[in-house]
A and B are shown apart, each in its own frame.
Chain A
Amino acid sequence: MIYSDNKKVVLRAEHISKSFGSVQALKDVSFDIFDDEIVGLVGDNGAGKSTLIKILSGNFPPDEGSIFLEGHKVNFKSPIESRKMSIETVYQDLSLCENLDSISNLFIGREVCKNIIGFNMLQKRTMEKRTLETMAKIDINLPSVKERVEFLSGGQRQAVSLGRFVAWGQKMALLDEPTAALGVRETRKVLDLITKIREEKKISIILISHNLQQVFEVVDRIIVLRLGQVIGVRERRSTTADEIVSLITGAVFVNNKN
């Protein structure tokens, strides 16, 4: 376990770099995520946020650099490895199977089964029950958990996708634009949910969002990326939206407080 300032470091990224052909998406990115905190990862389009999330969730490896999870160096060769280490990722595109119901979507890749004569038989009732419990926690009214996801509204689909975080999140969760497609009321519910789950599970969360107002509401710290580099890390309490915007865009920040 790594400690910094007497705080447990759940995730440490050291000198992460990643290029796609001639485009350098990430350059020498280093940061710590502490135990039981929500960190906002912000930056303009093309800043490298999604690339960073994909590396952390195991979709592809960095070109350079190391990642340490609770002090141990990790080398994810596929998303399942990050999941096995209790990192839960909620993707920006939701990663839902439209042709299947909420239960199936919640349990993708972790279906509850019983081995009967060599076949993995699905325990449907168990999974349905768990799905209903999870959806109740999210305080969402689904017409039916057995309804195909393609017939659900945008907010309901987002809820199903977030359900994975609620049901399975343990050490670390990566939430990529969880409120992107939602209206005001729904966004409020999601932010409350994130806070509630964090309190309940003492889980560390990296939250990517374009909406600084949201970010300021729920996070403890903010990491700003610009053009693939960490341009600043701030405590939420000691910064302002203006300062963050200026870091994101690279404009000069004039502190008018004096």
Chain B
Amino acid sequence: MQKVETISSERSAKFFRAILDNIGWLILVVCIIVFSSTIDGYSSAQNYINIIHHSVFIGILAIAECFCLISGKIDLSIESIAAFSAIFSAWLCGTSTFASGYLVNPFVGLLIVIIAGTLIGLFNALLIVKLRIDAFLVTLSTYLIFRGVATFVTGGKGVAGIPDSFRMIDTIRPANIPLVVILMFILYIIFQTILTNTKYGKHLFIIGGNESAAYNFGINVSKVIFITFVVSGALSAVSGWLIVARASGATPAIAQGYLFEVLAAVVIGGVSLQGGVGSLVGVFAGVLILGSIHTALNLLAISPFLTEIIRGLLVLVAILLDNIKKRFR
């Protein structure tokens, strides 16, 4: 077997690969520079903290989606599990007309929706693993079902009257940094460590890269997929609960469109839609890019109806990036 000589074309290929792998951070820097120079009040510490604060919901959902995608599967139901959890939490804890009236403690509510999210994730996993149905199809169904459940349960109305103890979660700022931002940082650190330093994380990459090799070498593929989708459900539930703290209530349309933002964020962040590639470091950049663009649009008072178009364009950019990377390999 010959010694490999690194010829200059191979070295430049490595260079381009490195750029493409970290393109998320590059784009983020470009965005910040552009927005800071064209929008008043953009480049302030307060604004940057606001950007991250607004990104928390997408950020947490993105962790779940990143794990699913790396294993070669996709979870389309994250948005609906979040929406369902939001409505459910509001219904449990709220005081308005359409709330349950049980006035459940917000943290008990959190526990309840996490269990609910876990069960929905379990349902997804069962169909994917035991019945061997494509993850896309299974989670597409749950995406539709649970969006429907959220609407049905409240009869299409919203729930409000969230107690202060709940709203506080979003407003509290230890050391002037929002608690939820700290929470998001902690979650990213924990999950990135799991991804890169645990056996489970390694198995995610193996299954996403070559599922038959995973099987040949004795990896319990079913168990890994089960864990992934159950955790995805739980994280989506947490995200939904946090949305209620911010919005002080929930309507059936809550979290609408989050799925596409998450997909845009993870793909810009370097996660391959084919599986086997991805890192939460890149995803964090992707999430921040989306947050920066949102904030810029807000500050420029762009019509909210334009948001859908821009979101779609972002997803398109993300898909094109994924395609370019594939060609480069």
A residues sitting closer than 8 Å to B (CB atoms) are: 57, 59, 78-80, 83-84, 89, 91, 95-100, 104, 108-111, 113, 119-122, 124, 138-143, 150, 153, 155-156, 159, 185-186, 189
Contact = CB atoms under 8 A, between A and B. Distances in A.
Nearest to B211: A97
Given A91-B216, A95-B213, A97-B206, 11 more contacts: A78-B215, A79-B217, A80-B218, A83-B217, A98-B209, A99-B209, A120-B199, A121-B199, A122-B197, A141-B2, A143-B4
Contacts, number: 96
B230 to A, nearest CB: 16
A47 B180 CA distance: 64
Contact of B217 (A95, A99, A119, A143): A95
B171 interface: no
B276 A97 contact: yes
A109 B218 contact: yes
A127 B90 CA distance: 49
Given A83-B217, A119-B194, A104 B1 contact: no
Contacts of B277: 99
B210 A79 contact: no
A79 B197 contact: no
Interface centre among A80, A97, A100 (most CB of B within 10 A): A97
Contact of B1 (A84, A89, A109, A156): A156
Contact of A78 (B2, B198, B210, B218): B218
A83 B252 CA distance: 52
A95 B206 CA distance: 11
B200 interface: yes
B208 interface: yes
12 contacts: A79-B218, A91-B216, A95-B212, A96-B213, A97-B276, A99-B205, A111-B199, A119-B198, A138-B1, A141-B1, A153-B1, A153-B2
Given A97-B210, A108-B217, A109-B219, A143 B199 contact: no
A146 B198 CA distance: 17
B130 interface: no
A141 B209 contact: no
Contact of B4 (A109, A113, A153): A153
B214 interface: yes
Nearest to B198: A119
A207 B205 CA distance: 31
Contacts of B327: none
Interface in B195-241: 197-200, 202, 205-206, 208-210, 212-219
A95 B210 contact: yes
Contact of A159 (B1, B200, B206): B1
A99 B202 CA distance: 11
B3 interface: yes
Interface in B161-204: 194, 197-200, 202
Contact of B210 (A57, A96, A121): A96
Contact of A59 (B1, B3, B198, B216): B216
Contacts of A143: 4, 6
A85 to B, nearest CB: 12
Contact of B209 (A89, A91, A100, A120): A100
A51 to B, nearest CB: 15
Given A99-B205, A113-B199, A186 B1 contact: yes
The 4 closest A-B pairs by CB, nearest first: A80-B218, A109-B217, A97-B209, A99-B276
B9 to A, nearest CB: 13
A159 B206 CA distance: 19
B4 A97 contact: no
B329 A150 contact: yes
Interface centre among B2, B6, B214, B329 (most CB of A within 10 A): B2
A79 to B, nearest CB: 5
B198 A121 contact: yes
B228 to A, nearest CB: 15
Contacts of A122: 197-199, 202
